[in-house]
């Protein structure tokens, strides 16, 4: 067997980093990805791997969101390969990068959420809703002219056990002019509701239902 060498050493793979190298950042993609990460993502590193990975676990019921998540990873980390790992009922959308902690300082000791969010608030809200929220139809009854009638209305629902992530969500809604309320279920105040017609209309325009 003949082995030929060019005598030229290939440069190691060195992806750029917005924080370390001041390269351009796709802000809408990053804000959406941050919302997904805060809801359904985590960063870990296997002892056999050179770089940590960001993994976002997304239900197979929403393939459109899986596609958006992978596209957001590609746009945020254009020099890194992404992959999908199938699990029962879901797929893990992944990317490996030595710079993950630069983009997500919420990782590591301490609280996951402590970072001011000033980029693309609508994309952040989309990411949070796509991970830990939904658009649903509620109904109520009223007596009109002596007759009980049923009325249906849409609502956006967000659930997260972290007080601080819920606060991040509601602070962003406040900045966008969205009216919201806390909804306590079984004594647990983990739910945020958006049900006012004008606010739902805005959410429909910028977020929309899962797909």
Radius of gyration of the chain (CA): 21
CA distances from 151 to 36, 140, 179, 192, 201 (A): 33, 5, 21, 21, 17
pTM of the model: 0.74
**Residue-level pLDDT at 143:** 85
- Average pLDDT in the chain: 85
Q: What is the pLDDT of residues 73-99, one digit of tens each?
A: 999 999 899 999 999 999 999 999 988
**Residue-level pLDDT at 85:** 95
What is the homologous superfamily of the domain 130-206 according to CATH?
Homing endonucleases (3.10.28.10)
What is the homologous superfamily of the domain 18-109 according to CATH?
Homing endonucleases (3.10.28.10)
CA nearest 37: which of 98, 157, 156, 117? 117
CA nearest 104: which of 79, 82, 76, 125? 76
Residue 175 has a CB neighbour count (10 Å cut-off) of 12
Where in the sequence of the chain do the CATH 3.10.28.10 domains occur? 18-109, 130-206
Q: 71 is written with which tokens?
A: 């596209």
Give dist(CA 194, CA 181) in Å, integer: 7
């Amino acid at each position: 067997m003949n082995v030929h060498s060019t005598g030229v050493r290939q440069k190691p793979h060195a992806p750029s980093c917005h924080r370390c190298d001041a390269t351009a950042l796709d802000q809408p993609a990053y804000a959406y990805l941050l919302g997904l990460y805060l809801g359904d993502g985590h960063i870990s590193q296997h002892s056999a791997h050179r770089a940590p990975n960001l993994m976002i676990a997304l239900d197979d019921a929403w393939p459109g969101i899986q596609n958006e998540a992978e596209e957001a990873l590609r746009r945020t980390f254009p020099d890194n390969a992404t992959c999908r790992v199938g699990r029962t009922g879901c797929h893990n959308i992944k990317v490996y990068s030595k710079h993950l902690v630069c983009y997500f300082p919420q990782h590591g000791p301490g609280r996951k959420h402590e970072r001011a969010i000033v980029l693309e608030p609508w994309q952040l809200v989309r990411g949070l809703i796509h991970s830990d929220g939904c658009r649903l139809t509620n109904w109520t009854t009223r007596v009109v002219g002596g007759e009980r009638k049923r009325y249906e209305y849409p609502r956006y629902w967000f659930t997260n056990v972290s007080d601080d992530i819920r606060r991040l969500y509601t602070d962003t809604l406040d900045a966008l002019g969205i009216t919201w309320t806390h909804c306590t279920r079984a004594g647990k105040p983990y739910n945020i509701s958006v049900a006012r017609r004008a606010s739902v209309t805005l959410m429909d325009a910028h977020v929309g239902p899962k797909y």
